[in-house]
Amino acid sequence: MLEGTTAELRERKALRVNPAKTCQPIGAMYAALGVNGCMPHSHGSQGCCAYHRSHLTRHYKEPVVATTSSFTEGASVFGGMANLTSALENIFTIYEPEIVAVHTTCLSEVIGDDIPTIIKKAIESGKIPEGKTVIHANTPSFVGSHVTGFSNQCEAFVKYLAETGDTRKNTITIFPGFVDPSDMREIKRLATAVGVEFILAPDASDVLDTPYDGHYKMYPDGGTKISDLREMGHTMVSIGLGPLASTAAVTSLQKKCGVEGKIAELPIGVRATDEFVNALRVAGDTAVPAWLDAERGRLIDMISDMSQYLHKKKVAIFGDPDHVSSMIDFVTELGMEASIAITGTPGKKWERKMKAKAPNTEVKAFSDLHYLHQWIKNNPVDLLMGNTYGKYVARAEDIPFVRFGFPMLDRVGHRAFPLVGYAGAMRMVEKITDAFFDRDDRLLPDHEVELVQ
Annotated catalytic residues are 106, 110
How many chain residues touch ligand SF4 (CB under 6 A)? 7
Nearer to ligand SF4, 44 or 319 (CB): 44
Angle between helices 243-257 and 321-333 (to 10 degrees): 120
Q: Least Å distance between CB 151 and ligand SF4?
A: 16
Residue type present at position 53:
R
3-class DSSP string for the chain: CCCCCCCCCCCCCCCCCCECCCCHHHHHHHHHHCECCEEEEEECCHHHHHHHHHHHHHHHCCCCCCEECCCCHHHHHHCCHHHHHHHHHHHHHHCCCCEEEEEECHHHHHHCCCHHHHHHHHHHCCCCCCCCEEEEECCCCCCCCHHHHHHHHHHHHHHHHCCCCCCCEEEEEEECCCCCHHHHHHHHHHHHHHCCCEEECCCCCCCCCCCCCCCCCCCCCCCECHHHHHHHHHEEEEEEECHHHHHHHHHHHHHHHCCEEEEECCCCCHHHHHHHHHHHHHHHCCCCCHHHHHHHHHHHHHHHHHHHHHCCCEEEEECCHHHHHHHHHHHHHCCCEEEEEECCCCCHHHHHHHHHHCCCCEEECCCEHHHHHHHHHHCCCCEEEECHHHHHHHHHHCCCEEECCCCCCCCCHHHHCCCCHHHHHHHHHHHHHHHHHHHHHHHCCHHHCCCCC
In angstroms, the CA 108 to CA 111 distance is: 5
Contact characters 290-319, ligand SF4, x per CB under 6 A: ------------------------------
Q: Least Å distance between CB 229 and ligand SF4?
A: 25
Q: Least Å distance between CB 113 and ligand SF4?
A: 14
Q: Least Å distance between CB 280 and ligand SF4?
A: 36
Nearer to ligand SF4, 137 or 280 (CB): 137
- For residues 103 and 40, is the Cβ–Cβ distance under 8 A? yes
Nearer to ligand SF4, 51 or 437 (CB): 51
Q: Scanning residues 49 to 78, which ones bind ligand SF4 (CB under 6 A)?
A: 51
377 CB burial (10 A radius; 0-12, 13-18, 19+): middle
Nearer to ligand SF4, 55 or 431 (CB): 55
Name, in order, each residue with C-beta under 8 angstroms of 227's C-beta and a sequence gap of 6 or more.
none
Q: Scanning residues 258 to 297, which ones bind ligand SF4 (CB under 6 A)?
A: none
In the set 105, 133, 182, 325, which binds ligand SF4 (CB under 6 A)? Answer: 105
Contact characters 22-51, ligand SF4, x per CB under 6 A: -x-x----------------------x--x
Q: Least Å distance between CB 65 and ligand SF4?
A: 18
In angstroms, the CA 70 to CA 76 distance is: 10
Q: Least Å distance between CB 106 and ligand SF4?
A: 3
Q: Least Å distance between CB 45 and ligand SF4?
A: 7
Contact characters 122-141, ligand SF4, x per CB under 6 A: -------------------x
Nearer to ligand SF4, 105 or 343 (CB): 105
- Is there binding between residue 102 and ligand SF4 (CB under 6 A)? no
Q: Least Å distance between CB 416 and ligand SF4?
A: 29
Nearer to ligand SF4, 71 or 175 (CB): 71
Q: Least Å distance between CB 115 and ligand SF4?
A: 15
Nearer to ligand SF4, 49 or 432 (CB): 49
Q: Scanning residues 141 to 180, which ones bind ligand SF4 (CB under 6 A)?
A: 141
Nearer to ligand SF4, 107 or 161 (CB): 107
| C-alpha torsion sign, points 180, 181, 187, 190 | negative
Nearer to ligand SF4, 51 or 392 (CB): 51
Judged by the rule CB under 6 A, the positions of this chain that interact with ligand SF4 are: 23, 25, 48, 51, 105-106, 141
